[in-house]
Structure 1
């Protein structure tokens, strides 16, 4: 069953509000991560390789502390490669302007408006 014109307008208004008020959420959900930080990837890879080498050296010289340090280096390098950089985390979706800190009352007023419309619609359906 297709949406009525009023429901389509309401849906479009809700989408616009979502894009304006929750740009970070939209960027996260849409899957756009921005450009990868190649410096971070290379640095993390080198750190992981150094960690593996240190771990192997710790096994060869039979010093557990050297092996633990190697494992920590390796883990840190892998985490550095896998975590998104600052540029990727703060990327905004195309077509959205940077948002100013919107007061909370604008969000609540939007939700109040939606709730009022819903209640009016429900009251109108009960009278039939």
Structure 2
């Protein structure tokens, strides 16, 4: 079912407002983490699992704990990898700065109040 004309306008307006939010833009512009780091972390988790199994077979608790620590460290190492940042997309952000100063939620509340006063809701 296609969107109505009103829904299309609201969607376009929301897209424009989200594009003018500098905090969201910087979060979305970040590049993904390097895949190599995930591969090495996967090897670390598998190695830790192997150590845990070895500890269970030999009935040495300390070896099992060491294997768990290796698995946990590998997983944490993968998750806390720093993300490289991407340069800002366009220098034209200064024009939308005035709107961004108010805050997204404040603008949405003002827009809602205007619509309610006009009887659009």
- TM-score w.r.t. the length of structure 2 is 0.58
Instruction: Identify if the C-alpha distance between structure 1 residues 87 and 60 changes in structure 2 by more than 3 Å, giving closer, same or farther.
Output: same
- TM-score w.r.t. the length of structure 1 is 0.55
User: Map of 1:102-113 to 2, 5 A cutoff?
Assistant: 102-103=100-101, 105-107=102-104, 110-113=107-110
Residue segments in structure 1 that go unaligned for 5+ positions in a row? none
Q: 2:49 maps to what in 1?
A: 52
Match of 2:117 among 115, 120, 126: 120
8 Å contact kept, 2:33–2:82 = no
Cα deviation, residue 45, structure 1: 2.2
Q: What is the Cα-based RMSD across aligned positions, in Å?
A: 4.2
Residue segments in structure 2 that go unaligned for 5+ positions in a row? none
Q: 1:19 maps to what in 2?
A: 19
Whole-Å separation in 1 of the counterparts to 2:16 and 2:5: 18
Residues 104-126 of structure 1 show CA distances to partners (whole Å, capped at 9, x for unaligned) of: x343552354134312321x89x
Cα deviation, residue 17, structure 1: 0.8
Number of aligned residues: 113
User: Map of 1:23-102 to 2, 5 A cutoff?
Assistant: 23=24, 27=28, 34-81=31-78, 83=79, 85-87=81-83, 102=100
